[in-house]
């Protein structure tokens, strides 16, 4: 399996690892198939900008690298901007992933959306284009991206 230099960099030196106390939003998603779990913490200011973001990933190297890159891509952005994050944009920023590792990037996208969802629920607001995320991406609409072991 061939990983890009960027994937290796974000795997060996992940950015934004940790947790945020009293976070504005926390999202946890897992993939029952591989057993990996990702949790994203957001600190969002009154204007809807993501002041800080941290993550914890109990998962494979690609899951660590994609969550690291995902947090980098949304840090400082407005929530409407963060909502546009896709697993594709995370993969592109990492110069690609091997096809059997695509689902790891889906976990990163869904963890960010789950944290945004939690934020919206806590605030009692609805964010355009944001739907309730699945707890387990294996059962979600991303099924087509799953690879057989
Ligand atoms: Fe499941 Fe990477 S193998 S997230």
**Top mutation candidate among 104, 142, 145, 148 for ligand 1, by most atoms within 8 Å of CB:** 104
HEC sequence for 41-54: EEEECCCCEEEEEE
Mean pLDDT of 123-135: 88
- Tens-digit pLDDT profile for residues 33-64: 999 999 999 999 999 999 999 999 999 999 99
Average pLDDT over residues 92-119: 96
Q: What would the mean pLDDT of 122-127 be, rounded to a whole number? A: 92
Instruction: Say whether 58 sits in a helix, a strand or coil.
Output: strand
**Which pTM value belongs to this model?**
0.91
Q: Within 10 A of 32 (CB to CB), how many other CB atoms are there?
A: 12
Average pLDDT score over residue span 77-100: 96
- The residue whose C-alpha atom lies closest to atom 4 belonging to ligand 1 is 104
Q: Which atom of ligand 1 is nearest to the CA of 59?
A: 4
Residue closest by Cα to atom 1 of ligand 1: 34
- Decide if 66 contacts 111 (C-beta within 8 A): no
- pLDDT, one tens digit per residue, over 3-17 is 999 999 999 999 999
């Amino acid at each position: 399996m061939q990983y890009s230099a960027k994937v290796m960099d974000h795997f060996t030196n992940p950015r934004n690892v940790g947790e945020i106390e009293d976070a504005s939003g926390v999202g946890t998603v897992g993939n029952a198939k591989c057993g990996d779990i990702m949790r994203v913490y957001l600190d969002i200011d009154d204007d809807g900008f993501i002041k800080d973001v941290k993550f914890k990933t109990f998962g494979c190297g690609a899951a660590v690298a994609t969550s690291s890159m995902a947090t980098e891509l949304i840090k400082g952005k407005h929530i409407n901007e963060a909502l546009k994050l896709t697993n594709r944009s995370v993969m592109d920023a990492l110069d690609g992933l091997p096809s059997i590792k695509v689902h790891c990037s889906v976990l990163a996208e869904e963890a960010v959306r789950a944290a945004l969802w939690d934020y919206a629920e806590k605030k009692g607001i609805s964010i355009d284009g944001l739907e309730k995320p699945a707890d387990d991406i294996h059962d979600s609409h991303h099924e087509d991206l799953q690879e057989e072991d």
